[in-house]
Structure 1
Amino acid sequence: MKKTNAARFLDTKKVKYDLVEYDVDEADLSAVHVAETLGQNVEQVFKTLVLRGNANGIFVAIIPGNAELNLKKAAKVSGNKNAEMVAMKELLPLTGYIRGACSPFGMKKNYPLFIHDSCLNYDFIFVSAGKRGMQIQIDPKDLISCANARVCDLINV
């Protein structure tokens, strides 16, 4: 299994993690499908979303795979009045990652990261390893500390 930029980033931080491979369905890149393929609880498979705020620019929200991002909450916690998802064509130039493989680790720049507080309910969560067909299994506390992520409420209830 070839290491990704995200895995190499975690190696430099000396963080314990596991790389987990799964079969990709190009027709369904959703976190729900990833969770089903891995046989894991969808609430532990987090998706990484890249947004643009009106005041502070690009930031990243990491939320459970079955949840819907609340743009007002995301804007507020990031110090913006409003925020929107970046266009898909901007994802690769901004982050170095493509849709369905956007990892919170090893992006081109260190964007502010915000992770939904439900991550602390689990001993481990999954996030993209930066390549379709590969996830990182990690203790959420390690993710928070090595990525300098802020824990907050980001989703619709």
Structure 2
Amino acid sequence: MRQLDAANISYGIIHYDESDGQNDGISVARKTERQTDEIYKTLVTQSASKQYYVFLVPVEKELHLKKAAHAAGEKKIDMIAVKDLQKVTGYVKGGCSPIGMKKKYPTFLAKEASSLTAVLVSGGQVGKQIEVKVEDLLLAAEAVFADIVQE
């Protein structure tokens, strides 16, 4: 959120109760009373060349690894292990935001977001989402649209 503030990008903060341990995207949609196509999960991958990539997909969808590799210009990519998430991004599972990671990684936003005005993404902590305009998310995360969702 500090990066959004520094870039003068407006956003909303939405808190949800995470005390029940249910912080998967579908549960977050239910708790925030939002549609699942409005909430995007942040997925971190690594290629065979050891490059990290970030992909944002609607919470009810799955990342298509071949499409993701193609978008990144790689032959193959795989999800990183959950145990490595904090070391690579600075965030924990359920609180991984596409904005403000330890390092800037190439970031891809599912093309499905192009039809939306705004989306919700993690605010960097479990229990906190940020609502941001799609064009502002692209700017803040230095992301591009890509065809990355499994049909």
TM-score between both structures, scaled by the size of structure 2: 0.96
CA distance in 2, matches of 1:139, 1:120: 10
Aligned to 1:8: 2
Report the 3-state secondary structure (helix = DSSP H, G, I; strand = E; otherwise coil) of the residue aligned with 1:34.
Answer: helix
Contact 2:121/2:130, CA 8 A, preserved across alignment: yes
| Correspondence 1:44 to 2:10 | no
Identity of aligned residues (%): 34
Report the 3-state secondary structure (helix = DSSP H, G, I; strand = E; otherwise coil) of the residue aligned with 1:40.
Answer: coil
Paired residue total: 151
CA distance in 2, matches of 1:110, 1:119: 21
* 1:110-141 CA distance string (max 9 Å, x none): 01100001112111100000000000000011
Aligned to 1:4: none
Aligned to 1:3: none
Q: Alignment partner for residue 21 of structure 1, among 15, 29, 41?
A: 15
| Correspondence 1:94 to 2:88 | yes
Aligned to 1:30: 24
CA distance in 2, matches of 1:77, 1:122: 21
1:59 corresponds to which letter in structure 2? Y
2:143 corresponds to which letter in structure 1? A
Structure 1 stretches lacking a partner, 5+ long: 1-6
Larger CA deviation: 147-156 vs 97-106: 147-156
Aligned to 2:79: 85
Taking the TM superposition and a 5 Å limit, the aligned residue runs for 1:1-157 are 7-55=1-49, 57-157=51-151
Report the 3-state secondary structure (helix = DSSP H, G, I; strand = E; otherwise coil) of the residue aligned with 1:109.
Answer: coil
Larger CA deviation: 54-63 vs 12-21: 54-63
User: CA RMSD for the aligned pairs?
Assistant: 1.1
Structure 2 stretches lacking a partner, 5+ long: none
